[in-house]
Chains A and B, each alone.
Chain A
Amino acid sequence: MGNEEELNRIIDYSGRDYKHIGTRPVRPDGVDKVTGRANFGADFDMNGMLHGRMVRSPHAHAKIKSINVAKALKLEGVKAVVTGKDFPAIDPSDKIVGEVVVSFYDMSRNVIARDKVYYDGHAVAAVAATSPQIAERAAALIEVEYEVLKPVMNLAEAMKKNAPVLHKGMTTEGVEPAPKKSSNIAKRAQFALGDVEAGFKKAEVIVEGDYSTQTVHQGYIETHACVVSLAADGMATVWSSSQGQFMVRAMCAKLCGMDNSKIKAIPAEIGGGFGGKTVVYLEPVAMMLAKQSGKPVKMVMSRDEVMRATGPTSGGHARCKLGALNDGTLVAGELEMEYEAGAFPGSPVGLGCMTGFAPYNMTDILCTGWDVVVNRPKAAAYRAPGAPVAAFAVESAMDELALKLGMDPLQLRIKNAAIEGTQAPYGVKFGRIGNLENLRAAEEHPHMSVPLGPNQGRGIASGFWFNIGGTSSAEVMINEDGTVIVVTGNPDIGGSRASMALMAAEVLGVDVSRIKPLVADTESVAFSALTGGSRVTFATGKAVIEAAEDAVKDMKRRAAKMWDVELDQVEWENGCAVCIETDKHKPLSIADIAKKSDRTGGAISGKANINAQGAGPAFGTHICDVEIDPETGFVTVLRYTAIQDVGKAIHPSYVEGQMQGGAAQGIGWALNEEYVYSDEGQLLNTGFLDYRVPVCSDLPMINTVVVEVPNPGHPYGVRGVGEVPIVPPLAAVANAVSRAAGVRMGHLPISPPKLLASIDEAK
């Protein structure tokens, strides 16, 4: 089926009364997860398995002069040692070019360094031994000689004219004429609507501000882990925790020089990903160790390794200028941003440019983004990649504008809200969206009328994310007793098994307790793209709906056969085939039809392999109340309300959970989280004691308001949930603190010393 046909074949169920969609059954994987029976990445073991250990660079920037593995190999129990030289060469042009470039050449060098190390913790070698202790000792015996280079640790240093260059030969793309000199600036991205200069000429009020955020980690609880087994015939099996078993297979194949067909990737349960598990780190290394040793190899990262060597999201710097008329009408906006890409190019700065002004109806804007490499780990995706930093700048500037105009910040947003037909910053006109509905819900929410006390402030911010579709596959199998198995190819990060079961239940007309949703390995279901981008409930959900419809079609055929009537005399109602020709035939349930399936044509199943089109953009608006302690600078979050248009909440509890989780992570980004490096570039806060993510006692109850403006591109109106809720909190918190303190807090995190210094400076 072509992409257009996929879009046009939608059966619109939105007018119907749902029986299952919107209910809150217990999640199918719940018992396993609360009893400890669920198998996560590190839970899998094999007989004769070896334990792998990485050797990591203590330097942020250095040339590798030599690696001597002789002593490690002599240690009893050591079965394999690999370095970058053991991996196949990859052509630098081998890349997938999108908003975020995926370069297999860089990825291979990120997994294990070749001639240079680019950050503290960069892997340089790996060892496999019969016990974790021996592997640890062997790793310490590997001698690496470095020529230490000056590290470039932040945007300002990296963009200086004579800064040390990380990648010789890398020049700035997107600039005319093309520069010839090597630079740490990998790319310029630019988006424009109308004439920004003319727009600012019309402005009666202008605000301009400087904003910055720090590198933060996704903070998933489960560290990266895998087991790789390679049989004598070259067939490999990979068990690992990731956001996509097909991604693991493809990247292992590419980086290890294997065919996809020779790798079976089995998804473990996943203890958090948030975008950080959309790439591989350990799997290709374990594969090469297994190849060399002939034994299965298990590798598990420590928290220290996760923090030093896996993808954080970019720290960023932004300048935002807004122009408005005296009545609050926005007439122009300019946003210029620099994002850290980490050690290799590919920050999500372009996505920041595309999203920052999206909540507003603005005809004259210019957004410019610069992608900059620094000696930190390669940035990976993190919920709504690129959008939170841009929203922080724009939403802080909106708050400044409201103050300057003497206008209520919510009314300013309502006045300028993007609605259906508004042109997005990336050119496309929005279809049906729920941005204004969110703002109206905020206006009516009791949170807005709670009086504020001394040292307290209220912040409001909005945020946007595109949501995406993509390739998804599903199979719906009818068991002989009429129970149902739903097979998909997407790891369940946020309750997607429950959503898949509910959507299948709605089409089939059976109770969700009779449906078992499964996440299959790469040999048991057709290709599915990653779990990410808020795509699974939308795209894989569409595949499940189509597969269930396919199964219903088959069951109607079987019923027609059983009754000896024409197919067009059979309809599907409430989980049964009914004959409309005559009432002499009693309706046949799925169990009735399944029982006779041997006689009517064999097993019954339906399948769908689709590239889902019609993803619905989504917006959120958050309200945050804080109290500041002017003596210590400590910020207490008093109240928090997250409002979001989700299209349709398939399982409202998991939708609310996503909104609460995103808000909690955003609050951490705003108040606490940052990477602290030594002068030489070594990461100093590599554990959760020093890298402070919010815990329950730091937060109030996060109230949620689920707004449902159906997406016409999905049969049940689903938009997607997981990305949007991390976009508004940075500014919602900062705006609240700024109003409480009477000084603009434009630089995150708003730690107590930083807040105290700002208050003192303003006195």
Chain B
Amino acid sequence: MAKVVLPLEVARSFAAGVTEHQVQGGDVRRLLKDLEQSFPGIAERLGQGFAIAIDGQIYQDWFVEKVRADSEVYFLPAIEGG
């Protein structure tokens, strides 16, 4: 199972403040489906302005990136710059 860590604000709104969750691997789309089943509405929320980090690699614009069964996946705010 892949480890998914939600941003605190999202975890508070959807998952009773629990940030860390175990989901099926595969790809990001499947991961979101799994999360959505447990926390309805979360996929749309995470689709708004969050980047994703899979095993340390940050994807600002994610879509169907692969997630291994032992991957660590973090959602974090999309990063701007000057």
Contact = CB atoms under 8 A, between A and B. Distances in A.
A191 interface: yes
B53 interface: yes
B49 A98 contact: yes
A385 interface: yes
B58 A723 contact: no
Contacts of B64: 2
B21 interface: no
Contact of A428 (B12, B13, B49, B76): B76
A120 to B, nearest CB: 24
Q: Quick one: which of A4, A174, A533 has the most chain B CB within 10 A?
A: A4
Contacts of B78: 98-99
A351 B57 contact: no
A578 to B, nearest CB: 37
Contacts of A176: 12-13, 17
A254 interface: no
A350 B53 CA distance: 17
Contact of A426 (B57, B61, B72, B76): B76
Interface string A362-403: 000000000000000000011111000000000000000000
A97 interface: yes
B61 A97 contact: no
A190 B13 CA distance: 13
Given A3-B65, A97-B49, A190-B9, 6 more contacts: A3-B59, A3-B63, A100-B80, A101-B49, A428-B53, A535-B81
Interface in A673-731: 713, 722-723
Interface stretch (A12-20, A74-82, A332-340, A463-471): A463-471
Interface of B: 5, 7-9, 12-13, 17, 48-49, 53, 56-66, 72, 74, 76-82
A668 to B, nearest CB: 15
A189 B7 CA distance: 9
B82 A350 contact: no
Nearest to B75: A427
Contacts of A470: 60-61
A743 interface: no
Nearest to A173: B9
A179 interface: no
B81 to A, nearest CB: 2
A189 B81 contact: no
Contacts of B77: 98-99, 189, 350-351, 354
Nearest to A277: B82
Contacts of B74: 426-428
A97 B8 contact: no
B56 A275 contact: no
9 closest residue pairs by CB, A with B: A533-B81, A275-B82, A97-B49, A99-B77, A98-B78, A98-B49, A381-B82, A427-B74, A97-B48
A99 B49 contact: yes
17 contacts: A98-B80, A100-B80, A176-B13, A189-B9, A190-B8, A218-B82, A351-B77, A354-B76, A354-B77, A427-B76, A428-B56, A428-B74, A469-B60, A533-B81, A535-B81, A613-B57, A723-B81
Interface residues of A, number: 56
Which of A3, A429, A468 counts the most B-chain CB atoms under 10 A from its CB? A3
A545 to B, nearest CB: 19
A431 B53 CA distance: 12
Contacts of B17: 176
A522 interface: no
Interface of A: 2-4, 7, 96-101, 173-174, 176, 188-192, 218, 274-276, 278, 348, 350-351, 354, 381-385, 426-431, 465-471, 532-535, 611, 613-615, 713, 722-723
A694 to B, nearest CB: 19
Nearest to B64: A2
A378 to B, nearest CB: 14
Question: Which residue, of A274, A466, A723, has the highest number of chain B Cβ atoms within 10 A?
Answer: A466
A3 B62 contact: yes
Contacts of B76: 354, 426-428
B60 A385 contact: no
Given A3-B65, A98-B49, A614-B57, A382 B82 contact: yes
A468 B82 contact: no
A595 B51 CA distance: 47
B56 A4 contact: no
A274 B49 contact: no
Contact of A532 (B9, B13, B66, B82): B82
A274 B7 CA distance: 29
In the complex, which of the residues B5, B12, B60 has the most CB atoms of chain A within 10 Å of its own CB atom?
Answer: B60
Given A2-B63, A3-B62, A427 B5 contact: yes
Contacts of B59: 3, 613
B9 A174 contact: yes
Contacts of A532: 80-82
Nearest to A469: B60
* Listed residue (B5, B57, B62, B81) with the most chain A CB atoms within 10 angstroms of its CB: B81
A383 B80 CA distance: 10
Contacts of A471: 61
A7 B66 CA distance: 12
Contacts of A348: 80
Given A101-B49, A384-B82, A611 B61 contact: yes
Nearest to B19: A192
Contacts of B60: 468-470, 611
Contacts of A100: 80
A428 B58 contact: yes
A7 B49 contact: no
A7 B81 contact: no
Nearest to A383: B82
A351 B80 contact: yes
A382 B81 CA distance: 8
A120 B75 CA distance: 39
B48 A384 contact: no
Given A428-B58, A468-B60, A615-B58, A381 B80 contact: yes
Nearest to B13: A176
